[in-house]
Structure 1
Amino acid sequence: MKSMIFKTGTIKYRPMKKITLVLAFIGMIGLTSCVREETVVQDTYDQDTISEVWEYTNVDFYPGNYSLFLDFPHTIYSSDMVLVYRLAGGSSAGDVWKLLPETYYFDDGTLDFGYNNDFTQYDVKINLYGYDLAGLSNAYKLDQVFRVVVIPASFGKSTSKVDVSDYNAVIKAYKIDESKVKKIKM
């Protein structure tokens, strides 16, 4: 297609050249807006791949206060799994940790008392429940020790292969260093 030339005095008018110039200008503006800046933020505290254990000592249940909260030292991810164990005794082989919920029955098979728990990203709530908590031995109410084990979501698929009721199996499976258990006195 030929461009038409109009003469108006001494100025030549070429419409195709103006359109080409406008399109080239728009293309240059479009290319300059494609500049991409990238900001990298590094998380220096890697919470999502490290299992942790917190030990709460001197935990007491009193009449009117058979539920209590154990605050976490820091917020955990909502996808993390939390296991709570109660120190139930000891032997020559070491401490005996029982996974909550933990239930005790009378000889006739009826419920005597038990412990259960639930958790958030910030704390775990432990409940002591039963029929005669006031008459329950202080050995089950006072000076209790609990361990909270936080297992990151990245290990979620492997938990089916671990007997979570066995505290020592959990510690071994998730390579938790017992010397790094953080102790929190209530």
Structure 2
Amino acid sequence: MFIATCPLLQRDRSTEIYTTMTLTEINENTNMQKDPQHNPNIGSNLREAIWQGLEQERLTCGMLDCAKLLESNPENVMICVIPEAVDDVTVHIHQTLIVAFCLENGIRLVRVDSADKLLKLVSGRKGTKPNDNDVVGGRAIGHDAGCVIVQYPEDSLSAEEDVVMQWIKAMMYASDGPTAVVNISV
């Protein structure tokens, strides 16, 4: 059939280039769009990516520290994680500004279901001991999970990070922004 062999153009928002997609790839992408939570393991993959960032000192926590990083070095931001349903109006306004900045600058953004769960995640894996002063990579952790940024690794992406990045890419194609909320477990 002619339609099956005719490549279609799809704009890649992160790099501002156009790529061709076959009908099979379009159908797979459409299935992901119909069900944004299509990957049932996305929560565990995101959790692992956050833990890897923490262990490799690539994690920034807190609204002020994240805003500073976004302003000074946005090209090094791999993922920006924002919790859903924050009660504090000030935090909500800051999050709205960070979300707008991320969308405007092509930074991958993930919304998670709970600030409390995110706070537990950035505290580290179960059974690991946090360091004495709750500082990772020169940045304080453990008290503000209103925004969490994972920077790119020096080497290549891990399998979990790659899954999260591909899921976010599919979500961005599915709508004008990240509308699905990832349920994370701690």
Answer 1 or 2: which has greater helix percent.
Answer: 2
TM-score scaled to structure 2, two decimals? 0.25
Answer 1 or 2: which has greater strand percent.
Answer: 1
Between 1 and 2, higher relative CO (CA 8 Å, sep ≥ 6) is seen in: 2
Larger of the two Rg values belongs to structure: 1
